Amino acid sequence: MGSRRLIALAAVVALVVGGAPVAQADQGTSNGPRKDPQWTTEGDPRACSGPIWPRKANTRSGPGEGRRVLVIGDSLTRNARTPLKKKLRRSGWTPTVRCFGGKRLDWAIAQAKRAKELDQLPSVVVIAIGTNDMRWIDRSTTRSRMRQLLDVLGDDRTVFWVDTYASGGDRFTRSKEKWFNKQVRRLARSNDNLYRVVWGKYARKQGVRFADALHYTNAGERTWAKRIVQALNNRAA
């Protein structure tokens, strides 16, 4: 059997067994800026430090070997970014994180567009945002922005969307969690390149505790990071 037919057959098997596989390895090196020259904290203490785009991809053996991943998130990502990046690197991934506390989907859309301008929108993207939308933005706008973000990312990328986990306080109720997570589930069903990272149900089952109305304890942050990396590794394997 010719090599092209073998490749095609392998792709079909992957689709049947476990859905579309994680996109293949990204380019090992990059000529773009290591730091985004337009990144600004706006003088806001909730901001993360500027996103770093490593010159060379991680060559450590693991499911993510040679693959870059972009994580776009809010304060949950900001608080857990250190264990998240460590766990990703240990699995061979090369992470870049764009995070800012208090931000919503409109900001995430702008970050995806900016990464694309810099040619720094890799084949794997993690979205960990939505809590603040449910606190302040109406559901119709939120639903529309979720779809718009996927449109910006495009069908040729593998997207992991981390769903939400609510304590019930600070305007983020359990009913809002349930509604948002349902939207993520629906989008995953209708988009072959999107995978839902089931966090809310998992965190509740594991007894993940909150440090305040919205944020997790240090142990919870490590569990959150571990859950995300497991999802990426399972698809990449």
CA angle 79, 237, 224 (to 5 degrees): 20
Asked if residue 5 belongs to a domain, the reply is no
Asked if residue 11 belongs to a domain, the reply is no
Asked if residue 182 belongs to a domain, the reply is yes
Residue spans of the chain under pLDDT 70: 1-25, 27-31
Asked if residue 6 belongs to a domain, the reply is no
Helix (H, G, I), strand (E, B) or coil at 226: helix
Asked if residue 3 belongs to a domain, the reply is no
Which pLDDT score, from 0 to 100, does residue 58 have?
Answer: 95
CATH of the domain at 69: 3.40.50.1110
pLDDT tens column, 68-104:
999 999 999 999 999 999 999 999 999 999 999 999 9
Which pLDDT score, from 0 to 100, does residue 24 have?
Answer: 56
Rounded CA separation 71/112 (Å): 10
Which pLDDT score, from 0 to 100, does residue 237 have?
Answer: 79
Asked if residue 176 belongs to a domain, the reply is yes
Total domains, the chain: 1
Per-chain mean pLDDT for the chain: 91
Which pLDDT score, from 0 to 100, does residue 31 have?
Answer: 65
Rounded CA separation 77/202 (Å): 17
pTM (global) more than 0.75: yes
Rounded percentage of the chain residues whose pLDDT exceeds 70: 87
The residue segments making up the domain with residue 220 are 24-236
